[in-house]
Amino acid sequence: MNLEDELRAALRREDPSLGFAKRVVARAKPSPQSNRPIFRMAWAVAIAAMLLIGLTATYEARQMKAERAGRDAVMALRIAADKLNNAREKVVRREN
Amino acid sequence: MTDDPERFEDLVREHQAMVFSMACRYLRNRALAEEIAQDVFLQLYRKLPSLESSEHVLHWLRWVTAHRLIDHSRQEKRRPQSPLDDAPEPVAADSTGSADPLLSEMLRDLVASLPENARVVMILRYQEDLDPMDIARALDMPIATVKSHLQRSLALLRDKLSRTKGVGL
């Protein structure tokens, strides 16, 4: 035999394991459940609910942040006003 | 062509040996070869409505399998290897009917060690019995490149065989 004949013999086709075609077809067919309208509707509702929860959580987090910033600003103004009052009182005492 | 599941199963049976053997000879790993062959057929299932004839299906399958295998080995080269990846594949009983099973085994190993494009060309030439013109068409490759891959691979195989085992073919 020459090399080319040996190569033909060595590289001859062989079949995959039993049930290969059935396994491929099973993977190719979409599962019947996922195609039913009720399941599609359930998926849509679930996704909408998740979106709503996400948006609400984001909105509430922003609200809380804004409220906290407002409180901090009021506190800072009060502290500044106290300091100004102290300074004013000291100036008035010296003038007297 | 129709994507009717029964017709599709017939198509898989008709072409499974070709696709699986191409992958198996290329990768030297039966489990991985089956996985890739399954993926190729799943791709075929989605593509079926746009394929016009049996010849078109056959040509498409050869083209997709060849490119899938080349892509796979290029990705593997970039991936860090684990020690298990280097473990040798268990040797299946020789079913090729060759006069010398050891020589067949050695040839399969040598073919699997060729560079990606040369390996696919050799598999299409000696597994599928395609002539260089058909290989060039199947791989969208210039015929001169196909002939050069064949000549260089055969010379390399002859050289390696004569050096490792003193086999002169």
User: pLDDT tens digits, residue range B52-81?
Assistant: 889 999 999 999 999 999 999 888 877 766
**pLDDT tens track of chain B, all 169 residues?**
666 777 899 999 999 999 999 999 999 999 999 999 999 999 999 999 999 889 999 999 999 999 999 999 888 877 766 554 544 454 454 555 556 888 999 999 999 999 999 999 999 999 999 999 999 999 999 999 999 999 999 999 999 988 886 666 6
Q: Does B18 touch chain A (CB under 8 A)?
A: yes
Q: Which residues in chain B have their CB less than 8 angstroms from residue A18's CB? A: none
Per-residue model confidence (pLDDT) at position B100: 81
Closest alpha carbon to B26 in B80, B81, B65: B65
DSSP A29-95: SPPHHHHSHHHHHHHHHHHHHHHHHHHHHHHHHHHHHHHHHHHHHHHHHHHHHHHHHHHHHHHHHHH
For residues B125 and B122, what is the distance between their CA atoms, to the nearest angstrom?
Answer: 5
Contact criterion met (CB < 8 Å) for A12 and B97:
yes
What chain B holds in terms of domains, given with CATH numbers, is: 1-77 (1.10.1740.10), 99-169 (1.10.10.10)
For an interface test with A, give the residue of B3, B16, B48, B61 to mutate (most A CBs within 10 A).
B16
| pLDDT higher than threshold 90 for residue A23 | yes
Contact by Cβ (8 Å): A13, B15: no
Length of chain B measured in residues:
169
Distance in Å, alpha carbon of A42 to nearest chain B alpha carbon: 26
A49-79 pLDDT, tens digit each = 999 999 999 999 999 999 999 999 999 999 9
For residues A92 and B126, what is the distance between their CA atoms, to the nearest angstrom?
Answer: 108
Per-residue model confidence (pLDDT) at position A91: 92
> Which is higher by pLDDT, A28 or B97?
A28
Per-residue model confidence (pLDDT) at position A51: 93
Per-residue model confidence (pLDDT) at position B88: 46
Contact by Cβ (8 Å): B162, B130: no
Of A4, A15, A23, the CB nearest to B38: A23
Chain A residue nearest residue B36, CA to CA: A24
Distance in Å, alpha carbon of A20 to nearest chain B alpha carbon: 8
On the 0-12 / 13-18 / 19+ scale of CB atoms within 10 A, B79 is: exposed
For an interface test with A, give the residue of B7, B20, B123, B151 to mutate (most A CBs within 10 A).
B20
Distances in Å between the Cα of B137 and the Cα atoms of B60, B104, B154 are 11, 28, 21
**A5 membership: H or E segment, kind and range:** helix A3-10
For residues B18 and B107, what is the distance between their CA atoms, to the nearest angstrom?
Answer: 19
| pTM (2 d.p.) | 0.69
Per-residue model confidence (pLDDT) at position B12: 96
For residues B150 and B132, what is the distance between their CA atoms, to the nearest angstrom?
Answer: 9
Per-residue model confidence (pLDDT) at position B109: 94
| pLDDT higher than threshold 90 for residue A30 | no
